[in-house]
Amino acid sequence: MRLLAALVAVSALIAAAPALAEVVHFSAKLDGASETPPNDSKGVGEAHVILDTVKHKVSWKVTYSDLTGPATMAHFHGPAAAGVAAPVAIPLTPPLASPITGSADITDGQIGDLRGGLWYVNVHTAAHPAGEIRGQLAEAH
């Protein structure tokens, strides 16, 4: 009887314990050749994203250089495979000078798309209003 009571107590403690956060890192190389449609921009960049699966939060740092002009917009898009356009999932808010940093809450569906390699980031300029550089996010190992 005491053993049963002890097992029930331990089970209750385990069930009440907070879920452990899984932190997943993603990265992308950004360039004009990866845009949709591709362009001949000399601009390059990198995106580093951290996903906390319990808090449903992403944090990012996007760096770039050699664009044709100042960034006018930047976004995470999805779901889409490389080379395919998708709607904005998260707009990156000003200031848009490199590095762009920030964080946002995301849904379970967005987590699935991000983990499935279906998100990309792009940076827009006046010369390339549809996007000057783009990179598909992939889980960093």
How many Cβ atoms sit within 10 Å of the Cβ of residue 111?
17
CA separation for the pair 122, 131 (Å, rounded): 6
How many Cβ atoms sit within 10 Å of the Cβ of residue 106?
22
Residue 4 inside a domain? The answer is no
Residue 13 inside a domain? The answer is no
**Model-level pTM?**
0.84
CA separation for the pair 119, 49 (Å, rounded): 11
Residue 15 inside a domain? The answer is no
Residue 40 inside a domain? The answer is yes
Residue 9 inside a domain? The answer is no
For each of the chain's 141 residues, which pLDDT tens digit applies?
554 444 444 444 444 445 566 999 999 999 999 999 999 999 999 999 999 999 999 999 999 999 999 999 999 999 999 999 999 999 999 999 999 999 999 999 999 999 999 999 999 999 999 999 999 999 997
CA 100 to chain centre: 13
Question: Which residue type is seen at 133?
Answer: I
CA separation for the pair 118, 79 (Å, rounded): 5
Residue 98 is given by DSSP the state S
Structural domain total, the chain:
1
CA separation for the pair 130, 123 (Å, rounded): 9
Residue 11 inside a domain? The answer is no
What residues make up the domain containing 51? 20-139
